[in-house]
Amino acid sequence: MIDHLEIAQSGYFYQRKRRLSNEAINRLFTTIRAQARRPSQNLFRVDRVVLDDARYSAICFSHERDVAFLAPEAEAVERVYGYVLIVEHGPYIAVFKSGLDLPSAFKTAHLGKVANERIECAIARQDAVFQKLRLRNMSISPLALRSKSLEARDLENAVATSSASRFIPQAYSVRREDGVYSATPTTGRISLRADRVGVEATVAWAIQISELLQADGGAVAGFIRNFARAIELTALPSHVRPTFVGIDTMGLADALFNADNGVRLIREGANGVEELLQPEAEAVLAALEPAFPVVRRRRVLEVRAEDGVTPIARLRIGATRIGLRKLDVPQIAGISVEKRSQPLGEDANAVSLSRYLDRENLFTILFSDLALAYIDGALFRDEALAGGGTALLARLQADPSLVHTTSEKGDFAVGQVEFAQDCVFRSVVDTIADGDDVLLCDDLGDEWADFIGVSTHSSPTMISFYHAKHGNQSLSASAFHESVGQAIKNLGRMGLPADMLPHKLAGWANRYRNNGVQTDIARMIRGGTPQQISEKLDAVRVAPDALRRVFIVTSSLSRAQVEGVLADVVQGTAPSPHFVQLYWLLMSYFSACVEMGAQGYVVCRP
């Protein structure tokens, strides 16, 4: 019956950890059948048949599963056929499957991840034209754009790569002379757009891909090199240490709520195994949301809670992956993960949530080397940071007036007509936004920014949002979270939506009121009459070349201090964990601005 097999040329390729044997294949197929509900007789089964330079094994049978759109009380099941085809060639193993899955124990014992650069050399060759690309942001900030997908006939001619180094290629589709290939390096999946073929042609294709993966020195397409580059863990310098761990809660949420063949969270209840309801699952996700600091104690890399004191996990850096071991957050105690395709509580491969996060690589690690991040089970380097953080420094603007500020807004009194001296708001009005011929105070209420500036005399015209904060001088990220969050949240308002402007103009026509004090400070600080300001806003809103800028104005940061830390990094001195978090938070902010067609800056002390 195996002669009737017709499948797509699409499989998962793995680095072989341990040589397969007849006994290992027999044990695998026995386990696959044992995990299935009411399996039928095998439609076919073959064990390690030799074909050319490869061996292949396959099994196919039908089994029962729940109907996805019916509640368990319906007691309705459907019978489906599934198959697994395993091809062994050289140091690689290819797996083709549908309706059945490999046990996790078999994967752990025999299958390892193929290095990303190997897949790039095999698929994203120099002659490849990229047509689809799915990208993942290197940042662990929940405020940053997590991922994006691009599609065009030729992406190299359609995509700006100004912030490309902040993103990791998770999957791509390329057109080559020998066909259209797709690859997902994170899972090892490689596909060829072609007609379905039988087992012999599938084995021949698996051999072909395996040989491409083995080849050394292949040239990779220049386009893919614009993005963050994967490097081997063995290349991690001994002096570089992990600083923060972030759980990929969005990836976990996708598996829980969106994936077709997803998972569920379960625990032991008073009446047996019970599934966590959505509000309970959301609470688990919220508990895993923070960035957790990493501290080295003797030879142990200890992950700690937000308080920086309580140990909650350990990191183990191996030759091929980093393990997140013994994650112990109170909100996940006693919670396990099982497949939704199995009846509640009957998944033989159910594991604790802690183990699931580790096994599925649902975490990101930052390092004292600011250019590195461990994401999706691989180590990546942002090559744009090799020059010592010039991208960050280019977006830090020094303003001397911020040295003397003592508050964000100052005090208020009845009849007051200007913001107080030595406050950040006054610095924005007097110096930082002095080039804007229209300046509006939008503080409080439905706030888009503390100040909105428009420059109609410049070429091109400019729209500027200013977010002001005051604080003691520090290199901590905590002072920036609120400002960055506000800035990113309002990027969509930078187009000055026409349907919102009448309401905003009515509010700007009023005098400024704060802390219960009605002042005489005009919200329309510059720009003429309300009618003139309205006309200028309409003009710049529809200008095709309008430049959009976002400024976080803060007295808590010194450009010289940041420059000094980055200079020390170039000389080999590791920055503090707090600076690492600050760096990634700001880079996430700059990247988010670019994604929305704006330019982000921080105005700070000299």
Mean pLDDT of 410-415: 91
176, 210, 233 - which closes a domain? 233
Smallest CA-to-CA distance from 176 within 198, 191, 197 is with 191
Read off the tokens for 5. Answer: 């097999």
Residue 476 pLDDT = 78
In a shared domain, residues 463 and 552? yes
> Are 106 and 144 members of one domain?
no
Residue 179, Ramachandran bin (φ over 0: left; ψ between -120 and 50: alpha; else beta): left
**Crossing angle for the helix pair 501-508 and 530-542, to the nearest 10 degrees:** 140
The pLDDT confidence band at residue 163, using thresholds 50, 70 and 90, is low
Q: Are residues 332 and 222 in the same domain?
A: no
- Tell me: do 428 and 576 sit in the same domain: yes
Same-domain status, 167 and 194: yes
* Number of structural domains in the chain: 4
Average pLDDT estimate for 397-403? 94
pLDDT on residue 549: 96
Same domain? For 537 and 400 the reply is: yes
Average pLDDT over residues 562-569: 87
For residues 595-603, average pLDDT: 91
Q: Which residues contact 201 (CB under 8 A, 6 or more apart)?
A: 9
Of 129-138, 252-261, 304-313, which range is least confident? 252-261
Q: Rounded mean pLDDT of the chain?
A: 90
According to the model, what pLDDT value does residue 387 have? 53
144 or 387, higher pLDDT:
144
Which structural domain range is residue 66 located in?
Answer: 2-112
pLDDT of 142 strictly over 90: no
Number of Cβ within a 10 Å radius of residue 420 = 15
Q: Which pLDDT score is estimated for 571?
A: 76
The predicted structure's pLDDT at residue 577: 77
CB 57 within 8 A of CB 5: no
Tokens of 389: 């953080």
The DSSP element (H or E) to which 353 belongs, if any, is: helix 353-359
What's the whole-number mean pLDDT along residues 443-465? 92
What pLDDT sits at residue 234?
Answer: 87
Which tokens sit at 349?
A: 């491969």
Q: According to the model, what pLDDT value does residue 385 have?
A: 57
**What is the predicted pLDDT for the residue at 146?**
76
pLDDT at 386: 53
Please check the confidence at residue 279 and state whether its pLDDT lies above 90. yes
Rounded CA gap, 355 and 340, in Å? 18
Three-state DSSP class for residue 85: strand
Q: Which residue, 383, 410, 433, sits at the end of a domain?
A: 383
Of the pLDDT bands very low, low, confident and very high (cuts 50, 70, 90), residue 354 is: very high
Q: How far is CA 141 from CA 464, 511, 586, in A?
A: 24, 37, 10
Neighbours of 502 (CB within 10 A): 9
Q: Is it the case that residue 77 has pLDDT exceeding 80? A: yes
Indicate whether 531 and 422 sit together in one domain.
yes
pLDDT at 605: 94
pLDDT in tens, 461-481: 999 999 999 988 888 777 788
- Are both 422 and 565 inside the same structural domain? yes
Determine how many CB atoms are found less than 10 A away from the CB of residue 311. 14
Strands (E), 248-290: 263-269, 272-275
| Pair 319, 451 in one domain | no
Which residue in this structure is represented by tokens 């709520």?
257
d(Cα 11, Cα 94) in Å, to the nearest integer? 6
Distant-in-sequence contacts of 181-185, Cβ < 8 A, 24+ apart: 181/123, 181/128, 182/10, 182/132, 183/119, 183/122, 183/123, 183/124, 185/114, 185/116, 185/119, 185/120, 185/230, 185/378
Q: What are the φ and ψ backbone dihedral angles of 250, each rounded to 5 degrees?
A: -70, -35
Of all residues in the chain, the percent with pLDDT exceeding 90 is 61
Cα 410 to chain center, whole Å?
Answer: 39
Cα separation, 265 vs 180, in Å, equals: 38
In degrees rounded to 5, what are phi and psi of residue 565? -65, -45
Is the pLDDT reported for residue 179 higher than 90? yes
Last residue of one domain, picked from the residues 61, 78, 112 = 112
User: Considering Cα of 563, then 568, then 572, then 578, what sign does the dihedral take?
Assistant: negative
Q: Are both 95 and 155 inside the same structural domain?
A: no
**Cβ atoms 151, 181 nearer than 8 A:** no
Query: How far from the centroid of its chain's Cα atoms is residue 552's Cα?
Result: 23
Percentage of the chain exceeding pLDDT 70: 97
In whole angstroms, what is the distance from residue 392 CA to residue 386 CA?
A: 12
> Among residues 488, 470, 487, which one has the least CA distance to residue 479?
470
The pLDDT of residue 143: 65
* Same-domain pairing of 131 and 244: no
- Predicted TM-score (pTM) of the model is 0.76
pLDDT of residue 449: 95
Q: Are residues 324 and 468 both part of a single domain?
A: no
pLDDT band at 352 (very low <50, low <70, confident <90, very high): very high
Q: Measured in whole angstroms, how far is the alpha carbon of residue 231 from the centre of its chain?
A: 18
Q: Please give the average per-residue pLDDT across 158-176, as a whole number.
A: 83
> Angle between the 577-595 and 481-489 helix axes, to the nearest 10 degrees?
10
pLDDT band at residue 362, thresholds of 50, 70 and 90? Answer: very high
Bin 433: left if φ > 0, else alpha if -120 < ψ < 50, else beta: alpha
